[in-house]
Amino acid sequence: MRKLLVILLLVGQLIHAQNKKVKDTSCNELDNIFVTANRTETLRKETPVAISKITAKTIDESKASALYEIANKTPGVVMINLGNEQHAMSIRQPISYSSYYLYLEDGLPIRPLGIFNHNALLEINQFNLQSIEIVKGPVSSLYGPEAVGGTINLISQKPSYYPEFKFGVQADQWGYKRVQAAGGATIGKIGFHISGISSIQESSWMEQSDYKKDNLNVRLDYAINDKTRLTSNTMVGKYFSDMSGSVNENDFNNRTYTSTSDFTYRKSEALRTRLTVEHDWNSKASTGMTIYHRDNKLGQNPSYGIRWSPTTNPTTATGEVNSNNFKSYGAIGQHTQKFNFWNTTMVSGASFDFSPVTYWSYLLDIKANLNPGETGKQTVNKYEIVAEHPETKLADYTADIYNTAIFKQINFSPIQELIVTVGGRYDAMKLKYNNALDNSSGDKTYDKFTFKAGANFNPIKEAGFYGNYSQGFAPPGVTSIFRAKSGTGGSTGKTAEFYYNLEPATFENFEVGGWVSLFENKLTFDYALYYMEGTNELLSIKLEDNSTDYRSAGKTSHKGIEFGFNYKPNTQWNIRVGGTVAEHRYIDFTISDKSTDVLQNLGGYEMPQAPRWAGNSEVSYYPNWLPNFRASVEWQLISSYYQDQVNTVKYAGYNLFNGRIGYKYKSIEIYGNVMNLTDKLYAYNVSRGNLTTSQASYTAAAPRTFLIGLQYNLCLKK
């Protein structure tokens, strides 16, 4: 990190000397144009979907230590903190780890189709973000499978015209520290931006929760001529974290934040690099081509992999060590063509991705040391590894994944106030595999054509409406297919059985919404009403030993209202209110095939971890009497939800307040965040199995946290 800072300082001084005669241009320019929903620059009033943009100003003022602090400012988004930047997501879905979200980096998926990881955003460098665009609802017709509940596009910093340099540090009282630096400039036809962060957590409020993360992003832009541009992006990251896991109800209520294990961990090494060439043929036609490479290594001794049953043999448990490694080689091409007839724009494209993957997991024998308690209500005080069994595999496969797609979208305006959008995409995921556990090999193909149609109607300048129908598609994750079913394989003595029959999930979404802007944009309001049905959803049952049984025979419904309100009466105040009211239910979901079981189908039950209400609101103050000072108070609301699939026990939810202040003096900025302002006892997530003897697992949230930071911002203008 020190070498990076020295390089950035020297480069900044060199460029400053070469740019003394350059015309005046701002270091940072912002706009309100969206690129995610239509794969091309489009105004909000021309976009028939629910889309939100988190601007550079919001990102900068948040001074977030983790991405969830920023994402949760978007109406309809609940990003769950699982500690040390690990996370789960809820957008038009319950809080889950399902592969129904697509994470993009400058429009390119972070992971290939079939290798979804709900923690993929921990690889992101927050100091490298220019803006974030979040599309809610299916956009599979443009971006392909997994773009179902929502799509998050993280847009990275571009090279500035003038030389700029930023350096900052931040820390809290729980042992968290981060150093970050970024710089860039444009010299003639070449622009560059370099950004790095280094985070560390030691001796926190929660046992077994240390972590370390280092990220470096490098972008180079080359203007070949007025019509042709070349862009290169490279990201390198390393991450290692202890996994403290969840706590039982008694420890949670007593704020006893001790971990039941001291051996669980997650580690990641990631490389992503891409090269894009764009050419404008004329004012109505442009073409872009991107080639890319990914290289990811993810290893774990996961806390969620510990399987323990209080009713069978409560003093023993099992665990696992696993490794999931993949590489990707791919290309995507896109052409945009405009026509005078009805002001038509047509976007056409195709993509190919080849991703070989290897995965293995082996068994651990674990001793469970119990807390004193009543029979049938035991809880674990500490787990200890008794023996490792690399020879006893829980999963062991290699696979070559071939993803191909073609897509097209057309926008046209038969009358000035009406804009119609129609799009479609065909995806084919072909899997060639070798499963060492049952000595099988073969091919599997998951393919689907997805369609969308929508329209925007803008009768007046101050208001607009939209409606759309869209389809979503998500094949099962490769890891789910080749995971031995619970009670088979390993040391069970039973032949391993697998989830070869899992089917792709499909979704149909119906949506209407609109926006209003009044008093010269001082007051804005936007809303969306949606109804979505899922078929063959990949759902899971949490078994008594903490293992998971997968099913893809589920049918579910998801409906709700999302709303955002922003009022800026003057230059000193800004009031933001946003939230969602939603209901997620099983329509049909078989959990038992045994005639003797009382409950065989969850049809009609609410889905677990599905709060009816969720919201995030904020009041910000920028006093005229003290320029460059800011202060804000943020309110986060999560309503009650069921912990289990059989709707017997609820978690009460929480109201949470955060405070932020900052002051800039010339090039120096000092700031402070107080997270969990009232020191509220709450959990990020609570879940339990379906049996009456099941114990709740609480993902405990942090006590009141004071984060302070110092940042140096330099922009070398004439």
Tokens of 648: 């017997």
3-state secondary structure 394-430: EEEEEEEEEEEEEEEEEEEEEECCEEEEEEEEEEEEE
Q: Is 337 helix (H, G, I), strand (E, B) or coil?
A: strand
Domain of residue 136, residue span: 2-715
> Which of 64, 65, 63, 39 has the alpha carbon at shortest distance from 51?
39
CA atoms of 167 and 156, how far apart (whole Å): 17
Range of weakest confidence among 81-90, 259-268, 369-378, 480-489: 369-378
Residue 620 pLDDT more than 50? yes
How much is the CA Rg of the chain, to the nearest whole Å?
26
CA atoms of 427 and 422, how far apart (whole Å): 17
Yes or no: say if 370 and 315 are a contact pair by the CB < 8 Å rule: yes
Residue 23 pLDDT more than 70? no
pLDDT of residue 545: 55
For residue 638, the surrounding DSSP H or E stretch is strand 629-638
Residue 638 pLDDT more than 70? yes
- Average pLDDT rounded to a whole number, residues 367-388: 83
- Average pLDDT rounded to a whole number, residues 605-622: 96
pLDDT of residue 22: 35
CA atoms of 1 and 5, how far apart (whole Å): 6
Exposed/middle/buried for residue 474 (C-beta within 10 Å: 0-12, 13-18, 19+): buried
CA atoms of 493 and 523, how far apart (whole Å): 66
Tokens of 577: 């209110």
Q: What is the pLDDT of residues 248-292, one digit of tens each?
A: 888 999 999 999 999 999 999 999 999 999 999 999 999 999 999
Q: Is 160 helix (H, G, I), strand (E, B) or coil?
A: coil
> Which of 110, 146, 148, 103 has the alpha carbon at shortest distance from 326?
110
Yes or no: say if 560 and 567 are a contact pair by the CB < 8 Å rule: no
CA atoms of 122 and 114, how far apart (whole Å): 19
Q: What is the DSSP string of 421-457?
A: EEEEEEEEEEEEEEETTTTEEEEEEEEEEEEEEEEEE
Task: Give whichever of 210-214, 373-377, 502-506 has the largest mean pLDDT.
Answer: 210-214
CA atoms of 372 and 381, how far apart (whole Å): 9
Query: Is the overall model pTM greater than 0.85, yes or no?
Result: yes
pLDDT of residue 137: 93
- Site of tokens 């961990």: 265
Tokens of 606: 């609410």
Residue 699 pLDDT more than 90? yes
C-alpha distance from residue 691 to each of 259, 303, 685 (Å): 24, 21, 19
Tokens of 289: 């081509």
- Average pLDDT rounded to a whole number, residues 345-371: 95
Residue 491 pLDDT more than 70? no
Residue 175 pLDDT more than 80? yes
Q: Which residues of 5-33 are buried (b: 16+ CB within 10 A; e: fewer)?
A: eeebeebbeebbeebeebeeeebeeeeee
Q: What is the pLDDT of residues 414-468, one digit of tens each?
A: 999 999 999 999 999 999 999 999 999 999 999 999 999 999 999 999 999 999 9
In whole angstroms, what separates CA 110 from the centre of its chain? 10
Q: What is the CATH number of the domain that holds 71?
A: 2.40.170.20
Residue 92's beta-bridge partner residues?
none
Q: Grade residue 655 by pLDDT with cuts at 50, 70 and 90.
A: very high
Number of domains in the chain: 1
Residue 589 pLDDT more than 50? yes
Dihedrals φ, ψ of 419, to 5°? -125, 125
For residue 164, the surrounding DSSP H or E stretch is strand 164-172
Q: Grade residue 16 by pLDDT with cuts at 50, 70 and 90.
A: very low
- Average pLDDT rounded to a whole number, residues 544-564: 81
CA atoms of 639 and 687, how far apart (whole Å): 15
CA atoms of 529 and 511, how far apart (whole Å): 6
